[in-house]
Amino acid sequence: MAAKNSSVTEFILAGLTDKPELQTPLFFLFLGFYMVTVLGNLGLILLIVLDSHLHNPMYFFLFNLSIIDLSYSTTITPKMLMSFISKKNMIMHAGCMTQFFFFCFFVISESFVLSAMAYDRYVAICNPLMYTVTMSPQVCLHLLLGVYTMGFAGAMSHTGSIMSLTFCSENLVNHFMCDILPLLELSCNNSFAHELELFIVVAIGIGIPTVTIFVSYALILSVILHISSAEGRSKAFSTCSSHVIVVSLFFGSGAFMYLKPPSIMPLDEGKVSSLFYTIVVPMLNQLIYSLRNKDVKIALRKALDKKIFS
């Protein structure tokens, strides 16, 4: 149902492009991306569950990262695909708010789970003798509870702010999803307070994990530089490389989208940034961890060998 202070009961999502000749190619392109995301993340989840050698804190967090990637891609992509094949891609007010809530929940949760993974790498490299104690199952569960608590708090804050907006008559959302900036653009009340809330919550959602990650890797780098053997340094770097790439892709695109005022970056340009971290990053994460991780490749080879011989 629509908010009590709004006359808009449904929105029209403009989609990624209004050029007819691009609709079909883009539909199949992003359908392919989504299939790779679903199959890749489900495969990684099953691999971690089935292989006992992957039952450790690093893969516990990777397991949750794959669940989050799969979930928030599913929150966005199917509706986006509709915009390529529908003349008017409608979404009810309640559906728009629901999509926005889960999008915020999964994106903020991902930023914090990436920071938990950075802390895990810090403990593994800087204090390996105490790793099993420091990263005990109880500690991992508490960290994960913190991850989802921050995700829920951030999503509630953003959604509450959006639901308090007044939408008078215009209902065309210049985006392929219900995101905060295009919805603020449609609002007919003063959006300064809402933009301030957006900046503060996003600064917390990105700032705290970013500081955690930078501090963790500063300490990791300090330890690595004191390792005498080149082989030891190379091994230490290799354990962090996949995570560093994933962090750079996710936080880079997210910061580019949300840490600039809307007046500086047009929404059409913001669509491209949103496209990257909602569609491309969830697909790339599992590929990066699968192709660059020795343990995952060994587990995959063992699983395939069992399948062949059975």
Stretch 17-42: mean pLDDT, rounded?
A: 90
The fraction of the chain above a pLDDT of 70, given in percent, is 87
The yes or no reply on domain 11-309 and CATH 3.30.70.20 is: no
Give pLDDT tens digits for 46-88.
989 988 888 899 899 999 999 999 998 999 999 889 888 887 7
Confidence at 269, pLDDT banded by 50, 70, 90:
low
At residue 308, the pLDDT reads 60
At residue 190, the pLDDT reads 62
SS3 labels along the chain: CCCCCCCCCEEEECCCCCCHHHHHHHHHHHHHHHHHHHHHHHHHHHHHHHCHHHCCHHHHHHHHHHHHHHHHHHHHHHHHHHHHHCCCEEEEHHHHHHHHHHHHHHHHHHHHHHHHHHHHHHHHHHCHHHHHHHCCHHHHHHHHHHHHHHHHHHHHHHHHHHHCCCCCCCCEECCCCCCHHHHHHHCCCCCHHHHHHHHHHHHHHHHHHHHHHHHHHHHHHHHHHCCCCHHHHHHHHHHHHHHHHHHHHHHHHHHHHHCCCCCCCCHHHHHHHHHHHHHHHHHHHHHHHHHHCHHHHHHHHHHHHHHHHC
Mean pLDDT for all residues in the chain: 83
Stretch 216-228: mean pLDDT, rounded?
A: 86
At residue 228, the pLDDT reads 76
At residue 1, the pLDDT reads 44
At residue 2, the pLDDT reads 47
At residue 259, the pLDDT reads 57
Q: Which residue has the higher pLDDT, 242 or 218?
A: 218
At residue 113, the pLDDT reads 95
At residue 165, the pLDDT reads 79
Could you tell me the pTM of the whole model?
Answer: 0.87
Give pLDDT tens digits for 90-115.
889 899 999 999 999 999 999 999 99
pLDDT score of 25 more than 60:
yes
Give pLDDT tens digits for 224-239.
888 777 777 777 777 7
At residue 268, the pLDDT reads 60
At residue 293, the pLDDT reads 73
Q: Which residue has the higher pLDDT, 272 or 163?
A: 163
Confidence at 270, pLDDT banded by 50, 70, 90:
low
Q: Which residue has the higher pLDDT, 89 or 29?
A: 29
At residue 307, the pLDDT reads 62
Give pLDDT tens digits for 114-126.
999 999 999 988 8
